[in-house]
Amino acid sequence: MVSNMASDSEDELGALDLLSSKFDPFKALYSKSVRLPIPKAPILDNIHKYRSALNRAKQSAKVCF
């Protein structure tokens, strides 16, 4: 019984881990204990902001080389 409880808590942690194969986005949206891999990452709330940031990153990468 104890091993089942440990397994359940490991599954729960995996469901909230963004890098886990067991990640559950629905649980993550409603959980208060999700840990982001990069806490200070910019919030890109729509696809246009994402594409703009991606293009800027590509342009700066071209300049560096």
Instruction: Report the candidate in 54, 21, 20 with the shortest Cα–Cα distance to residue 37.
Output: 20
Q: Do the Cβ atoms of 34 and 28 come closer than 8 Å? A: yes
Domain ranges of the chain: 2-64
What pTM does this model have? 0.45
Report how far residue 18's alpha carbon sits from residue 15's, in angstroms, rounded to the nearest whole number. Answer: 8
Q: Do the Cβ atoms of 25 and 18 come closer than 8 Å? A: no
Q: Which pLDDT score is estimated for 64?
A: 55
Tokens 């560096």 belong to 64
Q: What does the pLDDT look like over 2-58, one tens digit per residue?
A: 444 445 566 677 888 888 889 999 998 898 888 777 888 888 888 998 899 899 888
Position 62 pLDDT exceeds 80:
no
Written as one letter, the residue type at 47 is I
Count Cα neighbours of 60 within 13 Å in the Cβ-side half-sphere. Answer: 6
